[in-house]
Amino acid sequence: MAEEAFQDAIIEITGTVMRLTPCPYHAKLATGETWDSFGVTVNPNGFRPDCSTCLTTPNTYEDLDFDSVELS
């Protein structure tokens, strides 16, 4: 006799978007460019260590819209 091994698998996903705060230096970045393109050292948070605008204006964060789904 067959029995169900699992009643449900529930998938729950969250996503957090990190948006860079615009500053004059950021504006120089074009498609495909990265901070490395400018030969600068970048902090783990994506900021240039010597960019006063970046350091005084933090990045912003926003949540993505997901639903939790139950599957039989």
**1, 3, 4, 6: which one contacts other proteins (CB under 8 A)?**
6
CB-CB contact of 71 with 6 (8 Å): no
Q: How many residues make contact with other proteins (CB under 8 A)? A: 31
- Residues between 12 and 71 that touch other proteins (CB under 8 A): 12-20, 26, 29-35, 46, 64-69, 71
| CA neighbor of 47 nearest in space, from 17, 18, 20 | 20
CB-CB contact of 14 with 64 (8 Å): yes
Query: Which residues are near other proteins by CB under 8 A?
Result: 6-20, 26, 29-35, 46, 64-69, 71
